[in-house]
Amino acid sequence: MNDRLKTLSRGIIDVSPLMIPVVPFGIIFGVIGMELGLTAYMTFGMSIIIFGGASQIVLLQLFSGGASSLVTLTSVGAVNSRHLLYGAVFSEYLSHLKLTWKLILAYVLIDQAFAVSNTYFKNNKKNNYKHYHLLGAGFTCWTVWQISTALGIVLGSVVPEELGLSFTISLTFLALLINDFRKFKNIIVMLVSGVVATIGYNTIPLQAYIIVAALSALLVATLLTLINLKQK
């Protein structure tokens, strides 16, 4: 086995355990997309084009709530902004690659792929083909996400509308936040965001309360981080 294939396989193996929670997440997205009135092509196309679980769920949430296009695009962009940090971290290892490679890797660079490849890159700096690890991890994530979305679309087409499964969008986000409840400062950030969103729901026009709540949470998180650094 040559070095390229070996590194590619390593990426697939490393990220595979992280795919277990991705499957139900993708299925939920497909089901909710169909329940909200999107066509199968629109729902599946969203998974191919956006390829970002959290941002896709946010889009569905805003779509179901009748948010304006500006609020929707801004919110989805804010959720995906963390990928700018991912790219900055990996620039140390991938800056020498051709533009085609960078575009492909940028497309498949999601949370799970970043987690495993970041560790691999740090431990294998001399491997000239280490970008194949990210390729393997990223396309594994992509394949699992597309299959899960397709399963959700099939299930969504047969699930009775009377079940009203749109509430699972909120449950999905709560599931993602479970680990964050372990830290007190995270709870403070969540409470601030929730209070601002609740107050702004009927007072801020164009449903921009979502953006205001997110920015408020970001400000509080930054202040708490700075305070924590000073104490150290």
Tell me the HSE value of 37 on the side-chain side, using a 13 A CA sphere.
5
Let me know whether 130 and 205 are in one domain.
no
Let me know whether 118 and 77 are in one domain.
yes
Let me know whether 151 and 198 are in one domain.
no
Let me know whether 151 and 191 are in one domain.
no
Task: Note the pLDDT of residue 54.
Answer: 81
Residue 177 lies in a domain: no
Residue 178 lies in a domain: no
Report the domain count for the chain: 2
Give me the residues of the chain with pLDDT under 70, please: 1, 159-181, 206-207, 229, 232
Q: How far apart are CA 105 and CA 55, in angstroms?
A: 19
Residue 12 lies in a domain: yes
Q: How far apart are CA 30 and CA 150, in angstroms?
A: 7
Task: Note the pLDDT of residue 113.
Answer: 93
Task: Note the pLDDT of residue 105.
Answer: 95
Q: How far apart are CA 149 and CA 38, in angstroms?
A: 13
Q: How far apart are CA 165 and CA 158, in angstroms?
A: 12
Let me know whether 190 and 161 are in one domain.
no
Task: Note the pLDDT of residue 94.
Answer: 92
Task: Note the pLDDT of residue 213.
Answer: 82
Task: Note the pLDDT of residue 47.
Answer: 94
**Structural contact between residues 165 and 159, judged by C-beta atoms closer than 8 angstroms:** yes
Task: Note the pLDDT of residue 41.
Answer: 93
**Structural contact between residues 46 and 59, judged by C-beta atoms closer than 8 angstroms:** yes
Let me know whether 61 and 141 are in one domain.
yes
Closest CA to 15 of 145, 133, 150: 133
Whose tokens are 């995906």? That residue is: 80
Tell which of 133, 165, 197 closes a domain.
Answer: 165
CA dihedral over 97, 101, 107, 113, signed as positive or negative: negative
Whose tokens are 């959290």? That residue is: 54
Q: Distance of CA 216 to CAs 60, 78, 152, 193, 212, Å?
A: 22, 13, 34, 6, 6
Burial level of 110, CB count in 10 A (0-12/13-18/19+)?
buried
Q: How far apart are CA 51 and CA 152, in angstroms?
A: 15
Let me know whether 75 and 188 are in one domain.
no
Let me know whether 82 and 197 are in one domain.
no
Residue 171 lies in a domain: no
Tell which of 165, 191, 215 closes a domain.
Answer: 165
Single-letter code of the amino acid located at 153: I
Q: How far apart are CA 68 and CA 72, in angstroms?
A: 6
Residue 191 lies in a domain: yes
| Residue-range definition of the domain harbouring residue 153 | 3-165
Global pTM reads: 0.75
Let me know whether 127 and 70 are in one domain.
yes
Q: How far apart are CA 169 and CA 3, in angstroms?
A: 42
Let me know whether 115 and 222 are in one domain.
no
